[in-house]
């Protein structure tokens, strides 16, 4: 969750009026994707 919140901070002020969102996708214990808006 901390990593997703950290990614979300990258999008602060860029997605207004929508919230900044961070996402990390994990499969089998390995990170397979990450992104933010």
Structural domain boundaries in the chain: 2-36
pLDDT at site 20: 94
Q: Nearest 5°: phi and psi at 28?
A: 60, 30
pLDDT at site 18: 93
pLDDT at site 2: 96
Spell out the per-residue pLDDT of the chain, length 37, in tens: 999 999 999 999 998 899 999 999 999 999 999 999 9
Q: How far apart are CA 12 and CA 27, in angstroms?
A: 27
pLDDT at site 28: 98
- Could you tell me which residues come within 8 angstroms of residue 25 by beta carbon, excluding any fewer than 6 positions away? 31, 32, 33, 34
pLDDT at site 10: 94
pLDDT at site 16: 87
């Amino acid at each position: 969750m901390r990593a997703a919140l950290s990614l979300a901070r990258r999008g602060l002020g860029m997605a207004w009026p929508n919230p900044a969102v961070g996402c990390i996708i994990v499969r089998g214990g390995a990170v397979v994707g990450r992104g933010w808006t």
